Chain A
Amino acid sequence: MKNWKIANNIQIFILVVLLFSSCNFYETEVPIDLPSPKPKLVVHSTFTPFDLPALVKSFSVSISQNAGVFDTTKMVPISDATVSLFIDGKFDQILKYSSGSGLYWSNFYPNAGIEYSIKVEKEGFETVTTNGTIPPKVAIKNCELTPFAGLNSDNLAFSQLSVTFDDPADQINYYEIMVLGYGQEKDKYRLTTNDKIITSESYYPSPVLMDADLPKRLLFSDRLINGKNHTVEMTFHANQALISGKLYMTPNLLYIAFRSVSKDYYLYYTSLLKHTYNRRSDMLFGIAEPSPVYTNIQNGYGLFAGYAEDTRSFWVDSLKVR
């Protein structure tokens, strides 16, 4: 018995000492030589019909380029590319470059059901082409906000939101939900949900994944709800402040954006979320498989896709929580 206790005590002591004193052992920088990649254009544009609050520009395209992964050159927009716009296959115009925004833009307003294509040319790069459409808008049938729905595990207040809609039955639909706040600064909230149509998406972090940053956009398809009326429930951290030991929810204007998005949009952003989570897991555990980001840009990278949006807004008053 005595020997057991001695063994146990010695081992606890050594384990504690080693665990806390060995942190610097673990990380070593590794020099690596990689060849320069083939230059490729990076295109990004998400477009939507104009009659929405001016959160986004109606039609604009950003053009940049790739670089070696360890390249320290600052990534700047490309300003001298030729960006041609085609509408339903017919040439429409060359987009103008704005040095102020770093974007190529046009003052036309896209609509649903029309195919938009662009061709980007720049010397030294392979020409890239892409196309996309705006899906039909799916309206919010009902939207309810509970500004204070309880306290979470960190004793912080959270809000609860439900969005109800009718999914059209005759096609495959993809959706996105975001909650934006206009209190002290514009921001998107991180959203959490137990709704299976979202938690069954491969990008959505498992409930057990410790220290996961929850997504700022909930993307899902209608695979599990095709043609049905459905309500998505989610929660998010409310704006709040701790003053003299008391917790208050602070006044805030919330915008709920419910988007019907194209398949390219859905594939891009879900793969981007997975890519980001895997990179984080890679750092922590080194076990994540490289997860490529989807692109619909031929000979390049990025996204060119449309969406249609319905919104609701709520004003949240100040409230003492605890």
Chain B
Amino acid sequence: MKQLIILHIICLMAFAANAQNKLIISGFVFDDQTREPLIGAHIFDNHSRIAVQSNEFGFFSLSVPETSAGNFTVSFIGYQPETIALNQVAKEPKTIYLKPGLAIDEVEVSVRKRVDFVQKKEVGTVKIDPKQVRNMPNLFGEVDLIKALQLTPGIQSGGEGKSNLYVRGGSPDQNLMLLDDVPLYYVAHFGGFLSVFNNDAISDVTMIKGGFPARYGTRLSSVLDIRMKNGNMQKISGQGTVGLLSSKISLEGPVIKGKSSFIISARKNIIPILKLADAGILYNFYDINAKLNYTFSENDRIFFSFYNGDDHVGVRNKEKTDKIKLVNDKSTRWGNLLLALRWNHLFSGKLFSNTTLSFTDYKYRNLYNYQYQNDSLKKETRSKITTGIRDFSLKSDFTWYYSPNYEMRFGFASIVHSFIPNNENYKQSITGKASVDSTYLSNINATEASIYSENNFNLKWMSANIGVRLSGYLLKEQAYYSLEPRVLLNLPITRNLALKYSFSKMNQYVHLLSYSGIGMPSDYWMPTTKNVLPETSCQNSLGIYYGFGEGKYEVSIESYHKTMNNLIAFRPGESLTGKLSDWEQTVENNGRGKSIGLEFFLQKLTGKTTGWVGATLSRAERTFKELNQGKNFPFSSDRLFDGSLVVNHEIRKNIVVSATWTYGTGYPVTVASERYVFNDNEYYNSEVYVYGEINGHRMRDFHRLDLGVNFTKQKSWGERTWTISIFNVYNRKNPYFLYMERETIFKRQDQNGGVGIKAIPGDLHLYQKSLFPFFPSFAYSFKF
């Protein structure tokens, strides 16, 4: 710890001299039409050749020599660059508005190259443009950014139709999913076919798979940082989509023009699919995103973000006659509620802060309601079982733009977790008998806190982000703390080629106990305790990055090595039901994980044709003392090879075609290897399967081609788009899961007085279930 403090002081002193005689240019970069902040816009001093990027709120700070003359240029992909003379710059922060347009000139390309390869230290980071996601082929007319992320290297879905993210061999609970800086715990609708993120409400998506800056923590494997739009500050606008599965609408506009705006987006399924298929099961989901912001001054802005989403699966039987009334309802619901209040404050042109007070709540509920009534008897039973997690959090982040070559980020966060492993409420009343009303609360509260410091150096021959995070955790009298060093190095070799390295140590104090390992809404979030230690990981990654074609193309080859410790899993056959007071006895908590991989990523970022090619060679395994006889076994998302090709092409201004093709080697599964039968002489014959090595078998390889086309037409009131998608163009039967089933043979046999049919068990077979065949879908969307 002492060494780190000394390092900080040395850094400040080393760069102090550089800070003398500097002119500070700071301000915000916004979209001219909507006043949305442009995250990652480039600000480039044409004289000193110093360049910076705007932060997640659109703020930038650029120090140039006081004697600097000339101008600086602000640019962002998809917008016309703006050049501003330095003598026009005032001491107060300046707000710059960029007009949308496709002008790409040498200045912009040059700026981007300079920033990306000299100063951009990100390793293992993917940025997804929500506009690009909108053009991609989709299922049921649903564009989904999680599905788009699953097409990038190092990220697996775990199987067809799933919204899980297995990042570099990590499990779904090891991903920190942030919506406007607030974590969401379960992000899938409709069994994983789509995520809770409404693309229309999103402005920026950054996925960090490795090389985590110190400001991020609490999870081992990834950070998905999603920013909601703020809302159009200039005029009321909106958009909507009617899809096969759901429909959505967004409305945004000024509350006070130029000072305050709102956005509200809502989505709901419109066709009760399972009821339509006469499955007797009702399924509904919805989500609502809303945001309100107000600008007090150039120095102060506040934001209020809201998200609520829910899935509901239910079976209802209702009967009423003259004599009998019967109601039998069984349902399951799961969903999130998120509230966040944020305050941006500018202390000066050099010091920017963001403070967030937030609440996030995830719940999964099983509900049962039974009522029976006749002339003499009335019986009513209600049962509610809840599992979930709730967080209250306060965090503050500061960015100190000390000098052109040194920037410091620091901050703190505290979270109060309330774990709800299994709350139960049971009521029963029966005519003539005493009523029962029992409630069992399982709430466990724990506190997590952290402070961090990041030091960003930008030298001519190298740039680096060296930081440390100190995290602590307290549950009753049990405390843990950990120092998490973070290093990101960027070594430009030429103007277009850079070598990058990162090291991250991460800690995770919340655990997800899962029966299936694939991330289900009914999985349990559990705390770190005296016996269940914090999960930890160490990840090294090394990559080469190369840009060519005047900045239009970027290619990278990155390798990673990750180890994880203190992983937990249910012991075979165990469950949490009825064992909350001693749940630690039901788990193996000495698990280790190891994953290695090599990722290739080629992107074309601009032009009429954009897209990417990604490929990953990897291995991910787990080891638990009491599982698989203590031997290593492949992790559920282990896949030797995974590749994707994504292409969007603008044929004409109003017609965009898109294609995605994915290929992956088979996921592992556990298959029964032997069986036995016994007769317990109580008319109970049983066949028992004995399972072989965990994940010792592989499903078939997976590959699929999807095509899509968007036809856009300008109307007097706005714009409309027809989207036609074909999912699984060549009808590949990709494996969804494997199962065994014994065939039944029907034989005629003579019975007393006649002929009967007897069913006898036949041979056992292994089957593969596939999910989606060739599947066309339509969507209609509009903007005004």
Interface residues of A (CB under 8 A from B): 3-4, 6-8, 10-12, 14-16, 18-20, 22, 25-32, 34-35, 37, 40, 42, 44, 46, 55-57, 60, 62, 64-72, 75, 101-103, 149-153, 155, 186-188, 194, 196, 200-202, 204, 206-208, 210, 216, 223-224, 271-272, 274-276, 279, 282-283, 285-294, 301-303, 322
Given contact pairs A62-B679, A70-B765, enumerate 11 new A-B contacts (beta carbons under 8 Å).
Answer: A11-B271, A15-B273, A27-B769, A66-B674, A69-B764, A151-B372, A196-B426, A208-B331, A289-B515, A292-B690, A301-B690
B767 part of interface (Cβ distance < 8 Å): yes
CB within 8 Å: A-B pair count: 235
Q: Please tell me if the beta carbons of A28 and B770 are within 8 angstroms of each other in the complex.
A: yes
8 Å CB contacts to A: which residues of B338-393?
366-368, 372, 374, 377, 379, 381, 383
Alpha-carbon gap, A29 to B675, bound state (A): 20
What CA separation (Å) do A283 and B738 show in the bound complex? 8
Contact A30 B767 (CB under 8 A): yes
Contact B675 A69, beta carbon cutoff 8 Å: yes
Contacts of B680 in A (CB 8 A): 44, 46, 62, 303
- For B677, the chain A residues whose CB sits under 8 A away are 42, 64, 75
A42 touching B271 by the CB < 8 A rule? no
Please state if A290 and B688 are interface contacts (CB–CB under 8 Å). no
Question: In the complex, which residue of chain A has the Cβ closest to the Cβ of B330?
Answer: A208
CA of A69 to CA of B130, assembled, Å: 49
Pairs A-B, 3 closest by C-beta atoms = A286-B737, A200-B578, A202-B575
Complex-state Cα separation, A46 to B679, whole angstroms: 11
Tell me if A11 and B244 are in contact (CB < 8 A): yes
Chain A contacts for B332, CB-based, 8 A: 208
How far is B768's CA from A35's CA once the two chains are assembled, in angstroms?
20
Does any Cβ of A come within 8 Å of B746's Cβ?
Answer: no
Q: Is B518 an interface residue (CB 8 A)?
A: yes
Q: Contact size class for B?
A: 35 or more
Assuming A66-B676, A67-B675, is B682 touching A55 (CB within 8 A)?
yes
**Within the complex, which residue of A69, A288, A302 is in contact with B673, where a contact is CB–CB below 8 Å?**
A69
Report B440 CB to chain A, min CB distance, Å.
Answer: 8
Sampled A-B contacts (25; CB under 8 Å): A3-B720, A10-B778, A14-B244, A27-B770, A29-B766, A30-B767, A37-B673, A46-B680, A56-B682, A62-B678, A64-B677, A194-B426, A202-B574, A206-B366, A207-B368, A208-B315, A208-B330, A274-B575, A283-B740, A287-B520, A290-B572, A290-B670, A291-B573, A294-B573, A301-B690
B548 within 8 A of partner (CB): no
The answer, yes or no, to whether B165 is at the interface (CB within 8 Å) is no
Distance (Å) between the CB of A246 and the closest chain B CB?
Answer: 14
Query: Does B242 interact with chain A (Cβ within 8 Å)?
Result: yes
Q: Which residues of B contact A301 (CB under 8 A)?
A: 676, 688, 690
User: Which A residues are CB-close (under 8 A) to B778?
Assistant: 7, 10-11, 14
Q: Is the pair B242, A4 in contact by a Cβ cutoff of 8 Å? A: yes
- Is B177 close to A, CB under 8 A? no
B755 proximal to A (CB < 8 A): no
B319 at the interface (CB under 8 A from A): yes
> Given the complex of chains A and B, what is the CA–CA distance between A29 and B776 in angstroms?
26
Of chain A, the residue at the smallest CB distance from B575 is A202
| Cα–Cα distance between A302 and B680 once the two chains are bound (Å) | 10
Take A62-B679, A194-B426, A288-B516 as given contacts and tell me if A28 and B773 are in contact as well, using a CB distance cutoff of 8 Å. Answer: no
Q: CB < 8 Å: which of A12, A27, A69, A202 contacts B768?
A: A27
- Return B550 CB to nearest CB of chain A, in Å: 41
CA distance A290 to B690 in the complex (A): 9
Contacts of B769 in A (CB 8 A): 26-27, 286
Q: Write the chain A residue with the least CB distance to B782.
A: A3
Task: Decide: A208 and B366 in contact? CB cutoff 8 A.
Answer: yes
Q: Give the complex CA separation of A14 and B777 in angstroms.
A: 8
- Chain B 484-531 residues near chain A, CB threshold 8 A: 515-518, 520
B751 within 8 A of A: no
With contacts A28-B733, A153-B328, A289-B516 taken as known, whether A7 is within 8 angstroms of B738 at the C-beta atoms is: no
- Give the CA-CA distance A282 to B518 in the complex, in Å: 14
Taken together as a complex, chains A and B put the C-alpha atoms of A288 and B517 apart, in Å, by 9
* Closest beta carbon of chain B to A224's beta carbon, Å: 8
Partner of B271, one of A12, A56, A188, A291: A12
The answer for the CA separation of A71 and B741 in the assembled complex, in Å, is 14
User: Does B686 lie within 8 Å of A272, measured CB to CB?
Assistant: yes
Nearest CB of B to A173, in Å:
16
Task: Write out the residue numbers on chain A whose beta carbons fall within 8 Å of the beta carbon of B740.
Answer: 69, 279, 282-283
B residues 544-588 touching A (CB-CB < 8 Å): 570, 572-579
Residues on B with C-beta less than 8 A from A56 are 681-682
Known contacts A25-B773, A67-B674: A153-B688 contact under CB 8 Å? no
Any chain A CB within 8 A of the CB of B739? yes
B672: Cβ under 8 A from any A Cβ: yes
- A35 and B696 alpha carbons, distance in the complex (Å): 12
Q: Does B730 contact A (CB under 8 A)?
A: no
A186 to B243, CA, bound (A): 55
- With both beta carbons as reference points, the residue of chain B lying nearest to A70 in the complex is identified as B764
The residue in A149, A153, A186 that gathers the most chain B C-beta atoms within 10 A of its C-beta is A153
Which of B's residues lie within 8 Å of A, judged by CB?
A: 141, 242-244, 270-271, 273, 276-277, 281, 313, 315, 317, 319, 323-324, 326, 328, 330-332, 366-368, 372, 374, 377, 379, 381, 383, 424, 426, 428, 438, 515-518, 520, 570, 572-579, 670-684, 686, 688-692, 697, 700, 720, 731, 733, 736-741, 763-771, 773, 775-780
B515 touches A288 (CB 8 A): yes
- Which of B317, B517, B572 sits near A153, CB closer than 8 Å? B317
Q: Are B763 and A72 in contact (CB under 8 A)?
A: yes
Query: Contacts of B270 on A, CB cut-off 8 Å?
Result: 8
Are A155 and B764 in contact (CB-based, < 8 A)? no
Known A44-B679, A60-B681: A223·B366 in contact at CB below 8 Å: no
Return B363 CB to nearest CB of chain A, in Å: 15
Within 8 Å by CB of A290, from B331, B672, B770, lies: B672
Docked Cα-Cα span, A283 to B676, in Å, equals: 19
The answer to whether B763 and A42 touch across the interface, beta carbons within 8 angstroms, is no
Output the nearest chain A residue to B274 by Cβ-Cβ distance: A19
Docked complex Cα distance between A149 and B438 (Å): 24
Residues from chain B with a CB closer than 8 A to the CB of A14 are 244, 776-778
Q: Which residues of A contact B315 (CB under 8 A)?
A: 208, 210
CA–CA, A102 to B680, complex, Å?
12
Contact present for B691 and A155 (CB under 8 Å): no
Q: Are A223's CB and B578's CB within 8 A?
A: yes
- Give the residues in chain A near B372, CB-CB below 8 Å: 150-151
Q: By the criterion CB–CB under 8 Å, are A292 and B683 in contact? A: no
CB contacts (< 8 Å) of A223 on chain B: these are 578
Q: In the complex, what residues of A have CB within 8 A of residue B331's CB?
A: 208
Complex Cα distance, B733 from A27, in Å, reads 9
Q: Which residue of B lies closest to A71 (CB)?
A: B675
> Which one of B313, B367, B428, B765 has the greatest number of beta carbons of chain A within 10 Å?
B765
Q: A28-B733, A301-B690 are in contact. Are A151 and B326 (CB under 8 A)?
A: yes
Q: Check if B674 sits within 8 Å of A283, measured CB to CB.
A: no
Rounded to whole angstroms, the CA-CA distance of A216 and B680 in the bound complex is 14
| Contact A37 B515, beta carbon cutoff 8 Å | no
Of the listed residues A224, A274, A301, the one surrounded by the most CB atoms of chain B closer than 10 A to its CB is A301
Q: Is the CB of B330 within 8 A of A19?
A: no
Shortest Cβ distance from B207 into chain A, in angstroms?
A: 26
Partner of A194, one of B383, B515, B577: B383
**A174 → chain B, closest Cβ, in Å?**
14
For A22, list chain B residues within 8 Å (CB): 773
Q: Do A274 and B573 have beta carbons less than 8 Å apart?
A: yes
Q: B residues within 8 A CB of A10?
A: 778
Minimal Cβ-Cβ distance residue in B for A186: B683
Docked CA distance A28–B767 (Å): 5
- Residue from the set A20, A204, A208 with the largest chain B CB neighbour count within 10 Å: A208
A10 to chain B, nearest CB (A): 6
Smallest beta-carbon distance A57→chain B, Å: 6
* Chain A hits for B741, CB < 8 A: 283
With A15-B244, A301-B690 known to touch, is A32 a contact of B379 (CB < 8 Å)?
Answer: no
Specify which chain A residues have a CB less than 8 angstroms from the CB of B765 in the assembled complex.
Answer: 29, 70
- Contact assessment for A16 and B276 in the assembled complex, using a CB-CB cutoff below 8 Å: yes
